[in-house]
Amino acid sequence: MTDAPLEPTLDAAERSSIIRDSLGVGVATGAYGVGFGAVSVAAGLSVAQTCVLSLLVFTGASQFALVGVVAAGGAPLSGAMTALLLGTRNTLYGLRMAPLLAWTGWRRVLGAHVLIDESTAMAVTRESVPAARLAFTWTGASIFVLWNLATAAGAVAGNALGDPRTYGLDAAVGAAFLALLWPRLHSRTNQVVGVAAAAVALGVVPLVPAGVPVLAAAAVALIAGVLTRGARP
């Protein structure tokens, strides 16, 4: 089976523009991997474990979720389940991107690994298959390379600092989650869901093992999504 015909062909100016924009997003996003590397070793993972996590998982929110649960004393399985739950949104991206990119075989497999927020956003706005493929490829590949390089640098630096509590790095996981959450609190609905999820998580902390409060908060968001689905434009 072959790929779908690439029509129309991109001209040099459009190609350069897409690559430039994609690299810009890649640099801005990939550099944040330094933060993940630092908080991961602060949570107790080794440099090698941190780097392998970025290579194989490669979705920032899920990675931060996993190390957050581990840092709180939760079981690795709870962390993995939390990460998996947050990563399910990528499945929805795949439903949209598969017919748009029209890739098959090994291209589809590699594309699935770099199917993240940024690569999807850069591709879905394009008006042709070649433009979408180019934006998706350059964005996903640049973020993947830079994220992993930055993760290694952050992990090595964090490991060299010693006990993270000496520098306040034990609070870095929570700060990183807040940084990811804050830009999404732009609507009243998101604010209400965020407050409700936080309240549920805090309420169950004394009752359940570490890691479960995060899953409970995520369940609030899922329920809210189902209840408000019909009200969305």
Q: Where are the domains of the chain?
A: 14-172, 185-233
Q: Which two tokens stand for residue 19?
A: 């690559």
pLDDT tens, position by position, 88-143:
778 878 888 999 998 989 999 999 999 988 888 889 878 889 999 999 999 999 99
Q: Quick one: pLDDT at residue 229?
A: 63
Q: Which pair of tokens denotes residue 233?
A: 């434009």
Express each pLDDT in 200-223 by its tens digit.
888 887 887 655 676 777 778 778
Q: 0.75 cut: is pTM over it?
A: no
User: What percentage of residues in the chain have a pLDDT greater than 90?
Assistant: 24
Query: What was the pLDDT predicted at 5?
Result: 46
d(CA 141, CA 154): 20
Q: What's the pLDDT at 141?
A: 95
Query: Is the pLDDT score of 194 beyond 70?
Result: yes
- Length of the chain in residues, anyone? 233
| Cα 212 from Cα 69, distance rounded (Å) | 9
